[in-house]
Amino acid sequence: MADAIGLLRPRTVVGPGLRAAGEWALRFDTFLHVKVGGVVRGTCWLTLDGHEPVLLEQGDTFLLGNPPPYVLASTLDASPRPAEPLWEGAEAGVVRIGPEPEENTYLCGGHLAFDDGNACVLTDLLPPLVIVRAADPRGRQLAQLIELLATEVEATAAGGSLVLNHLAQVLLVHMLRAHACRTDQPIGWLGALNQDGIGAALRAMHADVAHSWTVGELADVGHMSRSAFAQAFKDQVGTSPLEYLIQWRMSLARDALTRGTLSISELACATGYSSESAFSTAFRRVVGSSPRTFRAGARASASSRPGLPG
């Protein structure tokens, strides 16, 4: 999981905490790619467009993956207003609704955006909404992270932005772990990491991407027969082992080309191809353009990358 999260180059913005009293409702616009948050105190309703409302209680945490517009509210009867103006007027890391002495709800969270070229490595595996209840096995640990996040948001200590960024990313990882461990775990590498044999093979591929892996070698890593491994990998990950390896190599290649850290010939060698031509052919098949064209486009768009919502 750490390999994939690192590859995504997460950019984090932890928003102000929301302290609210009385009747209120806030509507948030759609955004890319992930929001994580939780209820530090009180309760609130969360409603995604096209989904049934969900009541969040103290200690509950949530993850939104490429969600449609959504509403946070004290009651389902409250009329929503845009959240953005309130977020822009936050003071000392807090957005307040209603009189301060009467506040009964406290929420905290942040947005994480990823490099567009590889964002689908994670976002394609996520439902619009993941909730971990405080009573769940991992719930208490997540609730503690939310409390730490909320405390740091309102603090003025040196290095606060660094702490917030890391806390938000740790929260993301723990939310993903909780999601992957459920009985209805998703298809894809996220769920497969919890399968002993398949997870071992995935880690081996990630650790030595330049190796010319065969299905037999990967089956040996997972202590499975070749046929059983190939079928289990396809069932869990949704593609064959060698096709997954190609997709992972191309994700690494997109990242390297975006950052300009290697020449194309060096990149071909680093990702397990015997020649620049073989690498370029594989890259074009997966990405839809040549490595040079992709690199030129990435450089052109680097300076115009949009910011994250508040």
Domain for residue 85, yes or no? yes
Domain for residue 306, yes or no? no
Residue at a domain's end among 151, 180, 209: 180
| Number of domains present in the structure of the chain | 2
Decide: 73 and 44 in contact? Cβ < 8 Å: yes
Task: Answer whether residue 230 shows pLDDT above 90.
Answer: yes
Residue at a domain's end among 180, 206, 241: 180
- Residues spanned by the domain of 281: 190-301
pLDDT at 77: 93
Cα–Cα distance between 218 and 225 in angstroms, integer?
A: 10
Q: What is the CATH number of the domain that holds 207?
A: 1.10.10.60
Task: Tell me the average pLDDT across 228-241.
Answer: 90
Domain for residue 185, yes or no? no
Domain for residue 309, yes or no? no
Nearest to 67 by CA among 49, 80, 42, 44: 49
* 150 and 214 housed in the same domain: no
pLDDT at 201: 92
Task: Tell me the average pLDDT across 199-214.
Answer: 91
What angle, rounded to 10 degrees, do the helices at 276-287 and 241-259 form? 100
* 8 and 155 housed in the same domain: yes
Domain for residue 307, yes or no? no
Domain for residue 308, yes or no? no
Helix (H) or strand (E) holding 35: strand 34-41
* 205 and 165 housed in the same domain: no
User: What is the overall mean pLDDT for the chain?
Assistant: 86
* 147 and 70 housed in the same domain: yes
Instruction: Please tell me the pTM assigned to this model.
Output: 0.73
Within 128-214, strands assigned E span 129-132
Confidence of residue 271 (pLDDT cuts 50, 70, 90): very high
Give residue-wise pLDDT tens across range 45-104: 999 988 899 999 999 999 998 888 999 999 999 999 999 999 988 888 889 998 877 778
Cα–Cα distance between 85 and 106 in angstroms, integer?
A: 19
Nearest to 40 by CA among 176, 128, 116, 145: 145
Phi and psi at 204, nearest 5°, equal -65, -45
Percent of the chain with pLDDT over 90: 46
214 Cβ partners below 8 Å, 6+ apart? none
Highest mean pLDDT among 98-107, 209-218, 234-243: 209-218
